[in-house]
Amino acid sequence: MTIQILMPALSPTMTEGNLAKWLKKEGDAVKSGDVIAEIETDKATMEVEAADEGRLGKILVQAGTQGVAVNTPIAVLLEEGEDDSALAKAAAPVPAAAPAAAPAPAASAPAPAAAPAPQAAAAPAPAAQGGGRVFASPLARRLAEQAGLDLKAVKGTGPNGRIVKADIEAAKAGGTAKAAAPQAAAQAPTAAPAAAPAAAAPAPKAAGIDAKDLSDKLGMRYKAQPNSSMRKTISRRLTEVQQTVPDYFLAIDCELDALLKVRADLNARSKDYKLSVNDFIIRAAALTLKKFPNINAAWSEEAILRYDHVDISVAVATPTGLITPIVKKAETKGLAEISNEMKGLAERARDGKLKPEEYQGGTFSISNLGMYGIREFAAIINPPQACIMAVGAGEQRPVVKNGALAIATVMTVSVTVDHRVADGAQGAEFLAAFKKLIEDPLSMLL
């Protein structure tokens, strides 16, 4: 039995991805665990490992293809003993899936809907797509078919819940998961069309002036740079925030001279770390957030979620766009640990090698543009978080101390806060407590 390799969901929120590169070519032997392709998600490029063994019989989606929906067949794997003649039957349903995925008038829906039915009847996994794809090894599928077991009723104990031989044998011994094969086949035609309209829904057109349409009408010359998945995600999320989150902005000036002295002293003590001002900012924010759980929170319609730990998302600029790797449980980490962890995260972010768990989540964000000489700016909240901190450059400014004019290194820090979660006075108290730690850096070491 041939095995279809599907576009994987590499994160809980992934609905589509770009097939960046094939690392195996047609005819190559494939072992379980082999890296066969690279998939570009909305935030990173990730390697895809094979779950089964066999020979790569046919590549259905070519390298460079964009917007491939999750669970779309991208290749066909031949099992041991199978030759290329098996590909004709396996690959036949794939072209029929294209019309179902494309937006089409309601009247033409029945014709393409009928095509996936043979595929659903032939293999249990596609038949279950309407209620969730069943992951099982080829051997487990054969044993289940012979025993008349319904795979949807079998609990998998393999990797990621995959059904393996032992699960089928346990189900047979327990007398569970019995189901007639005709019943499963009968359900398949209804399951396949049900999934088609969801995939066919076109993306809503952005409100406002269509720049391309206007430029074409006015004869303005331009070069069109296709939007990457990351760029589209940034656009969607930030537009959502601007439309749905009632926020406010606060700013405060922090003197850095004492912090710069402590930083220099600590860096001179060891070569195992090299602390940056941003490391101190992350540490100070984490400690302050533990004192202000109403800021380390998120809004939901049922309740305000106050998080147990401080997971700080730190904005990193990459060639393809902004990404926010996370320093998790930052309140439990010292300056050296934060510094070394952040260096590794930033490097992997720029190389597009972050794992989903390294950038998904977070309870608070920090964006620092000080290295560009930006004195002050207001950042956009990173949903569903309730607050983001914007850090400007440290620069020498005139200040008044004890009634006399003096010069100090001053950094302006601002926060954007979701008013549904924290009121203005709470935001101001948080920022004042943060300033106190920055100006008394030794207290961070206690």
Contact 400, 441 (CB under 8 A): no
Q: Containing H/E element for 253?
A: strand 247-255
Structure tokens at 125: 């996994």
Distance CA 266, CA 361 (A): 31
Give, in order, the Cα–Cα distances in Å from 171 to each of 138, 159, 180: 17, 18, 15
Contacts of 44 (CB under 8 A, 6+ apart): 323, 349, 352, 353, 354, 355, 356, 359
CA quadruple 50, 51, 53, 55: dihedral, nearest 10:
-40
Distance CA 59, CA 10 (A): 20
Contact 416, 366 (CB under 8 A): no
Q: Containing H/E element for 39?
A: strand 35-40
| Identified catalytic residue from 320, 419, 428, 429 | 419
What are the CB-based long-range contacts (under 8 Å, 24+) for 174-180?
177/144, 177/149, 177/150, 177/151, 177/153, 178/148, 178/149, 178/150, 179/148, 179/149, 179/150, 179/153, 180/148
Q: Could you confirm whether 309 is annotated as catalytic? A: no
Residues that are catalytic: 419
